[in-house]
Structure 1
Amino acid sequence: RLFDTLASVYIKEEIDARRVFNMDETSFESSKKSHRVIAFRGSGNVWSQEVHPSFHLTIVACGSADGLVVPPVFILPGKTVRLNVMANCGVSGAAVAMTDSGFMNTTLFIRWLAFFASSVPATTPRPLVLIMDGCSSHYSSEVITAACELSILLVCLPANSTHLFQPLDVAVFGAFKSKLRPLIHSFISEDGNYTIDKENAIRLAGIAWENCNFPFNVKAGFKSCGLFPLAKEKMEESLGHYQRNGTPKDLGIAAWLHVKTVVQQELLVLSPPREKSKTRTTTTVGDRLLTHQLLLQIAAEQEDERTRKRQVKADARKRINKRQKRVEEATV
């Protein structure tokens, strides 16, 4: 269905690589309440701590199949921000936004669509095709209205498939994070800090952004995912690789999987439930210290008690039977 949708749009609007974009969000680093300690296995003296920010920073990325990179937007939590928060960000045209949680929401996404449209050169023909995931903040009547006014065609990827068909996930974010991690560790060693403030987080993210070869990687991502040039074979290859969990095509199915299939198709008859024994096999410990001999003694006492109770019940049944017999004889 994704292939058919894109094929229809590409043909109808005569779309070229300059007009196809992918948008997604990633995080700077997860905010953690617990602390991790990094050490060599077997070390008896551990004190190094893993750095983490005290807030959530979302980075909005977008790039085209032609290698055009839209400046990033950094989303911070809260309502106010320092005036110099972007002073050390080396990415030209980058912007910062605020939400209560630090994540994208519908209102901000509508504002981002206008930012995106203004970032694409006016010489690029419209409409633009924007491929994205189906996050709730990306899809609403207000979003569709804003996109129509800006001449943007929105295409949502199938659920749970972004790791297969989203160019940013496939080819860009991995390279970005691989550049960002060493910068974070260098920040630790230079300043001796174990947390990062907002200004430095944006500064480090900007450096990683500039050095992750975004234009080349996003072009390769579009091609690898089969989104542009549109290639159904590559889409099916990605899906098949996922369904096989990365195993080779010629790998045989394990014996237990065959057995599992048979079990699923056959009717299984369960054995009747086992009757529970009323014999007590436990004892109350209380304040006692129970040795093996004492446990044997308790077990023997319990058995004697059960025998006595059975005898009492048997005697009671005999008396009832005799009483009923006398009543019947008197009636006759």
Structure 2
Amino acid sequence: MAERPKKRQRIELSLETKVKLIQEFDSNPQSKQKDLALKFKIGKQTVSDIIKRKQHYLQLYDANISGERKRITNGKFENLNGLLHQWFNQARSKTLPISGPILKEKALQFAEQLGIADFKASDGWLTSWKTRFNIKQFKVSGESAGVNHDVVDDYKERLLTIIGDFDSKDIFNCDETGLFFRALPDKTLSYKSQAAKGGKISKERLTVLLCCSSMGEKLKPLVIGKAQNPRCFKNINKDTLPVTWTANRKAWMTSQLFNDWLQQLNRQMRQQRRKILLFIDNAPSHGQDLSVSNVTVKFLPANTTSVLQPLDQGIIKAFKARYRKYLMRSLISRMEDCASVTELCKAITVLDAVNWINAAWKETQQTTIAKCFMMCGFPVTSEQESDDENDDNIPLATLLATISSEVPVAELLISITIFPQRTRMRVTGKLN
């Protein structure tokens, strides 16, 4: 009895390998498909099928499809998938946010137009569609998509002319930011068998105005709250606070508050016999007619602050990271004495926040500030050129050093795992 020939092992080609085969065929059209089959260890019919569908594979490759080894099939809804992919590209070219529910709804519309009655926009179909076209979900952040780069380039070219004879130490930028000063982390570790319950997240906010020079000089922060005299300020002279405190009903910046701050800054510069150049954004709360003797105010072009304002390039982010460090230290030290999340939040006072704001601002590195100015096109000086520093690197040892030695180690570990996202800690060993 004749021995049956061994069945050739099935080989699945990756998309990248298929593209290489197509490129070899295009570079030498006279080459035989048999030779390509032997080289890539596949059948002649497979080579023929790949060449016939070369436009399809090249389009997938150009669309940044992952080159992992996987079989690419036509799919039951190939036309629908292709139309949805084209629509997706058009929408993203306009920087429109596209979510899963939007894709499902649009897919159902395409199915109706194509007369596909059995199509269901299920989660499984959506996952397969995103995998096929190498699409992932990202959080939309920042305002950079709305920036006119021609305006940015033109402004950077004119920046030296705008600065004129001002020294780097006299070039300042100010901006305000909202600070949820009692906000607990919104994520936690928990046992798989238990629900991750939590309390209501505090949204009590302060507005903090920060001002610094291109050389790293930092002025006293302006903090805006909701009460002129919070209960925690009892028996405290507000003039002795490490920040300038003011208030209004919504804790927002207003044109009157900004003008008062600018007048105070002008008096300070006049006493120092300095004249400075202050760059600000064109927010309505900053007003328009800001003429003072020792502070020359320049407005940044509209819709460009995400790339032209130094404080937005990482200074505020570094400041908030350091504020969170102080907040987390306080939370860990107070956990034993609080019975609930609400009680833990209320234990944090405005006076605590004021002191942490001051400490976080003082610890923000001068080199970080200088580099953010440089990123926005401001002139570089020899003093500003230094090694990179990580303002958000808060080591575990630093945090542990602030905890009282009376806290049991086991409880300390539990406390740390409750807040992993904000403190950015990684515990790899055991504490004894």
- Tell me the TM-score range normalised by the shorter chain: 0.5 to 0.7
| CA pair 124-224 structure 1, distance change in 2 beyond 3 A | farther
2:212 paired with 1:60: no
Alignment correspondent of 1:19:
170
| CA pair 174-25 structure 1, distance change in 2 beyond 3 A | same
Alignment correspondent of 1:131:
279
Alignment correspondent of 1:318:
none
Alignment correspondent of 2:376:
225
- Aligned positions of 1:173-184 closer than 5 A: 173-184=316-327
The Cα shift of 1:58 comes to: 0.9
Secondary structure in 2 matching 1:61:
strand
2:306 paired residue among 144, 148, 163: 163
2:191 paired with 1:38: no
Contact 1:21 1:65 in 2 (8 A): yes
Deviations, residues 100-131 of structure 1 (Å, cap 9, x unaligned): 211110000011102222344744542x2111
The Cα shift of 1:152 comes to: 2.1
2:111 paired with 1:111: no
Deviations, residues 264-299 of structure 1 (Å, cap 9, x unaligned): xxxxxxxxxxxxxxxxxxxxxxxxxxxxxxxxxxxx
The Cα shift of 1:64 comes to: 0.7
Distance in 2 (alpha carbons) for counterparts of 1:88 and 1:62? 23
Distance in 2 (alpha carbons) for counterparts of 1:163 and 1:123? 32
Contact 2:232 2:350 in 1 (8 A): no
Alignment correspondent of 1:314:
none
- Aligned positions of 1:201-220 closer than 5 A: 201-213=353-365, 215-220=366-371
Q: State, as a whole percentage, how many aligned pairs show the same letter.
A: 21
The one-letter code matched in structure 2 to 1:24 is D
The Cα shift of 1:208 comes to: 1.6
The Cα shift of 1:135 comes to: 0.6
The Cα shift of 1:7 comes to: 2.9
Alignment correspondent of 1:77:
226
The one-letter code matched in structure 1 to 2:282 is G
Structure 2 alignment gaps of length 5 or more: 1-153, 336-343, 382-432
Structure 1 alignment gaps of length 5 or more: 231-332
Secondary structure in 2 matching 1:26:
strand
Contact 1:183 1:204 in 2 (8 A): yes
The one-letter code matched in structure 1 to 2:194 is G
| CA pair 43-7 structure 1, distance change in 2 beyond 3 A | farther
Contact 2:182 2:345 in 1 (8 A): no
Alignment correspondent of 1:8:
161
Distance in 2 (alpha carbons) for counterparts of 1:198 and 1:96? 11
| CA pair 40-155 structure 1, distance change in 2 beyond 3 A | farther
The Cα shift of 1:37 comes to: 5.3
2:246 paired with 1:97: yes
Secondary structure in 1 matching 2:360:
helix
Alignment correspondent of 1:188:
331
TM-score by length of 2: 0.45
Contact 1:165 1:227 in 2 (8 A): no
Deviations, residues 9-28 of structure 1 (Å, cap 9, x unaligned): 323xx111122100001122
Work out which of the two has the higher radius of gyration on C-alpha atoms and give 1 or 2: 1
The Cα shift of 1:211 comes to: 2.0
Distance in 2 (alpha carbons) for counterparts of 1:133 and 1:86? 37
Count, aligned residues: 218
TM-score by length of 1: 0.57
The one-letter code matched in structure 2 to 1:8 is T
Q: Give the CA RMSD over aligned residues.
A: 3.3
Distance in 2 (alpha carbons) for counterparts of 1:87 and 1:171? 33
2:180 paired residue among 29, 33, 41: 29
The one-letter code matched in structure 1 to 2:246 is A
Secondary structure in 2 matching 1:226:
coil
| CA pair 148-22 structure 1, distance change in 2 beyond 3 A | same
The Cα shift of 1:40 comes to: 4.7
Distance in 2 (alpha carbons) for counterparts of 1:158 and 1:7? 15
The one-letter code matched in structure 2 to 1:10 is I
Deviations, residues 73-122 of structure 1 (Å, cap 9, x unaligned): 11101344347379699x98521011221111000001110222234474
Deviations, residues 199-226 of structure 1 (Å, cap 9, x unaligned): 122122222222222x332222111211
